[in-house]
Amino acid sequence: MKELKSKYDLFRQQVHIIIYGTNTVAGRLFDLALLVLILLSVLMVMLETVDKVDQRFHQFLIISEWVITIFFTIEYILRIISIKKPHQYIFSFYGIIDLIAILPMYLSFFVTGTSVLAVVRALRLLRIFRILNLVHFTGQASELKLAIKASRTKIIVFIYFVLVVCILLGSLMYVIEGDASGFTSIPVSIYWCIVTLTTVGYGDIAPITPLGQVIASLIMILGYGIIAVPTGIVTAEFARGRNSGLFLNLRNPCVNCGTEDHRENADYCYHCGHPLHDEA
């Protein structure tokens, strides 16, 4: 009995190394296989909804979907048993994603009604989040994240301003244009205003009265102009990130001549050639 326990423990350890580790060949191969499988699975969920593809390969898609679901189910169980504190994985963001991504196929037994089924089956697409966990981005992503985080408050203030402008100008257009040109209600007019201000411009709704076209022109020029604001915010943050890195040793002047703006990795003063760091 004890032997069985220790065998099981050894199995758990090995599984843990393969699933969670990235240092061994097996662990890397597992990650790669998982990545390919997730991409394949996501691709298949998409193609299922294309009528032509579904009609021709229906049987093949169903079977592959089951194979993939069973593989993910096994992987999910192995993840739980091979970790020391299973609840930490189960209730983590990726644990919940993993569970939601395998449930749809099993639920398809119980759920009937095409529209509900469509929603349930689409949930499998959440697997795409798992790639985020697999692909280990370089420091680039974190720099991006930092710059966006730093400019978050300003961007929210900006979006609030955009929304207020869209509500007011959208309502104005509703009063001016009326039903004939598609401005059937204030919410629809606000939708149109967002479509115009963001320079998307579908054209499903477009002003036809002269006054409406004048105001639409103003909204477009406004939208064209204020796109500069979020851009300016993020760029300034990026530039700040860079500058503060580059001039990090602004407070480390050369002891010989006082020159300050050395490169980060400088060992000698570029102005007088004196060593920058103590020899001690």
Which of residues 40, 70, 132, 248 is near a copy of itself by CB under 8 A? 132
CA distance 192 to 204: 9
Q: What is the size of the binding site for a copy of itself (CB under 8 A)? A: 108
201 Cβ contact list (under 8 Å, min separation 6): 195
Q: What is the crossing angle of helices 139-150 and 228-246, to 10°?
A: 120
Interface positions, 26-55, toward a copy of itself (CB under 8 A): 42, 45-51
Neighbouring CB atoms inside 10 A of 214's CB total 12
Q: Does 244 bind a copy of itself (CB under 8 A)?
A: yes
217-to-190, 196, 207, 221, 269 alpha-carbon distances in Å: 16, 9, 10, 6, 57
- Quick one: which segment of 16-24, 74-82, 100-108, 146-154 binds a copy of itself (CB under 8 A)? 146-154
- Quick one: which segment of 4-12, 13-21, 30-38, 225-233 binds a copy of itself (CB under 8 A)? 225-233
Closer residue to a copy of itself in complex, CB, 18/120? 120
Q: Does 146 bind a copy of itself (CB under 8 A)?
A: no
Interface positions, 72-131, toward a copy of itself (CB under 8 A): 118-119, 122, 125-126, 128-129, 131
* Structure tokens that stand for 195 in this block: 């479509």
Residue given tokens 């060593």 in the structure block: 275
Interface positions, 190-209, toward a copy of itself (CB under 8 A): 190-191, 194-204, 206
Q: Does 57 bind a copy of itself (CB under 8 A)?
A: no
* Beta carbon of residue 156, minimum distance to a copy of itself (angstroms, whole number): 8
Q: Does 227 bind a copy of itself (CB under 8 A)?
A: yes
218 Cβ contact list (under 8 Å, min separation 6): none
